[in-house]
Amino acid sequence: MGLEYRESDPVRLSDDRKHIIALDQTRLPGEEVFLEISKRQEMYDAIKTLAVRGAPCIGVFAGYCMAVLAGGYGISDVGELVSKLEEDAACLDSSRPTAVNLSWALKRQMAVAKEGAASGMKADELTDRLYEEAVSIHEEDIAMCMKIAENGLSLLHDGDGLLTHCNAGALATTRYGTGLGPILLGKERGYEFHVYSDETRPLLQGARLTAYELVNAGVDETVVCDNMASLLMKQGKIQAVLVGCDRIAANGDAANKIGTSGVAILAKYYGIPFYVLGPYSTIDPETATGDDIEIEERDPEEIKTMWYEKPMAPAGAKCFNPAFDVTDHSLITAIITDRGILRPPYTESLSEALQGSRA
Ligand code: MRU
């Protein structure tokens, strides 16, 4: 195996390959707790509760899940193993609906399993192939994030004020991240950016996770409430907005954390470039437009009680808690991928990117 894990990797495989070691992101920034995950229910829960989160990271995790499950069964009949894995993939796929990387990685592993079975592999050989493929998904993600960071950095200038929403850093991917990639790479190369992180209600990925990553990296960082972006833009403090994405439809509409589309509308009003950053695996050609993207709805208690000593809304109050929204392609200045910086019209540039590399 060529991939060398780092302590800071949000997910990695144990040396004996029996479990996945995952940083529990629900405990950050206060505690760095690592989970040891080997059972399907633990995997499902880790994704559902956002212990493992961020579209690319969920994809990498799902790749390992399939390998660890296959390894744990000890089944010698290949047909039986493949049908067990099919059930596992369906279960894990139902944990969160919006980020396409989850189903993308599960489908990729199922294709490996089915090809292996069709070519006459034994169960243990097939399991080894799943481990190899999981590591490939992880390695590819690291390489893609690096390219996204390079491509994004080419659009920024030393001294820029940047706004981010949610967390699209190394915690949400593997190293560098997508939305934070150009910032972290820029820091290594001597750029001084001033980054404003939306706290990102209701689960506070901006305040808890983006600030944690940027402060650790020594980046000049200020946490703001989500409703402060307009003021910052009006005051001329923001030269570009950088966000990640969970699914990009064929026409360029992009799903990302709830609140992203509002930031994009503000950026358009103030004439500020709005960049969406993500790997090619986040592009979903089978989803025609943003209207076709399923938006996850989460427990209302995340809004009413989760961060408070006392409930902050009456028990009887109705509460709506969509986890994502869709930014219309017309608001996106460029989609920055590992396969190049894509510009409108996105129907064409995305389809070209999916066919191969693009400068
Ligand atoms: O609900 P989360 O925390 O998984 O949402 C994450 C985001 O919205 C990220 O911006 C997106 O997954 C891209 S991560 C590189």
- How distant, in Å, are the alpha carbons of 48, 155, 236, 267 from that of 271? 37, 15, 11, 6
- How distant, in Å, are the alpha carbons of 103, 104, 329, 337, 357 from that of 350? 19, 17, 12, 10, 11
The catalytic position among 246, 284, 325, 338 is 246
User: Which residue type occupies 2?
Assistant: G
**How much distance in Å is there from the Cα of 277 to the middle of ligand 1?**
11
Question: What is the mean predicted confidence (pLDDT) over 109-119?
Answer: 98
Q: What are the two backbone dihedrals, phi and then psi, of residue 23, each rounded to the nearest 5 degrees?
A: -70, 125
Residues forming beta bridges with residue 316, ordered by sequence position: none
Report the pLDDT value the prediction gives residue 91, as an integer from 0 to 100. Answer: 98
| Tens digit of each residue's pLDDT (9 = 90 or more) over 208-240 | 999 999 999 999 999 999 999 999 999 999 999
CATH architecture designation of domain 149-355: 3-Layer(aba) Sandwich (3.40)
Question: What is the mean predicted confidence (pLDDT) over 66-82?
Answer: 97
Residue 34 CB neighbour total at 10 angstroms? 15
- For residue 153, the SS3 value is helix
Q: Contact, 20 vs 64, CB < 8 A?
A: yes
Ligand 1: residues within 6 Å at CB? Answer: 50, 53-56, 99, 166, 168, 172-173, 177-178, 205, 244-246, 256-257, 323
Report the pLDDT value the prediction gives residue 237, as an integer from 0 to 100. Answer: 98
| Tens digit of each residue's pLDDT (9 = 90 or more) over 9-38 | 999 999 999 999 999 999 999 999 999 999
**How much distance in Å is there from the Cα of 79 to the middle of ligand 1?**
36
Report the pLDDT value the prediction gives residue 57, as an integer from 0 to 100. Answer: 96
Q: Concatenate the DSSP letters of all residues of 191-226 into one string.
A: ---EEEEE--TTTTHIIIIIHHHHHHTT-EEEEE-G
- pLDDT of 8 > 90? The answer is no
Q: Which of these, 211, 210, 276, lies nearest to 243 by C-alpha position?
A: 276
Residue % of the chain over a pLDDT of 90: 96
- HSE at residue 22, side-chain half, CA atoms within 13 A, is 31
- HSE at residue 202, side-chain half, CA atoms within 13 A, is 18
Residues forming beta bridges with residue 322, ordered by sequence position: 297
Q: Which of these, 113, 193, 190, 61, lies nearest to 180 by C-alpha position?
A: 193
Q: Which residue has the higher pLDDT, 174 or 244?
A: 244
Report CA Rg, the chain: 20
| β-pair type (240-243, 220-224) | unpaired
Pick the CATH number of 11-146 from 3.30.1240.10, 1.10.8.60, 2.60.40.10, 1.20.120.420: 1.20.120.420
Tell me the domain boundaries of the chain: 11-146, 149-355
Question: What is the mean predicted confidence (pLDDT) over 42-70?
Answer: 97
| Tens digit of each residue's pLDDT (9 = 90 or more) over 295-327 | 999 999 999 999 999 999 999 999 999 999 999
- pLDDT of 141 > 80? The answer is yes
Strands (E), 61-105: none
Nearest atom in ligand 1 to 323's CA: 1
**How much distance in Å is there from the Cα of 188 to the middle of ligand 1?**
24
**How much distance in Å is there from the Cα of 142 to the middle of ligand 1?**
17
Please, which pLDDT band fits residue 281 given cuts at 50, 70 and 90? Answer: confident
Please, which pLDDT band fits residue 358 given cuts at 50, 70 and 90? Answer: very low
- pLDDT of 357 > 70? The answer is no
Nearest CA to ligand 1 atom 6: 54
- pLDDT of 356 > 80? The answer is no
- pLDDT of 1 > 70? The answer is no
Is the pTM higher than 0.85? The answer reads yes
The span from the CA of 113 to the CA of 127, in Å, is 8
Residue 246 designated active-site:
yes
Q: Which of these, 95, 117, 98, 138, lies nearest to 1 by C-alpha position?
A: 138
Q: Contact, 38 vs 71, CB < 8 A?
A: no
Report the pLDDT value the prediction gives residue 7, as an integer from 0 to 100. Answer: 87
Question: What is the mean predicted confidence (pLDDT) over 164-178?
Answer: 94
Report the pLDDT value the prediction gives residue 203, as an integer from 0 to 100. Answer: 97
Please, which pLDDT band fits residue 175 given cuts at 50, 70 and 90? Answer: confident
Report the pLDDT value the prediction gives residue 359, as an integer from 0 to 100. Answer: 36
Please, which pLDDT band fits residue 2 given cuts at 50, 70 and 90? Answer: confident
Termini Cα distance of the chain:
30
Residues forming beta bridges with residue 294, ordered by sequence position: none
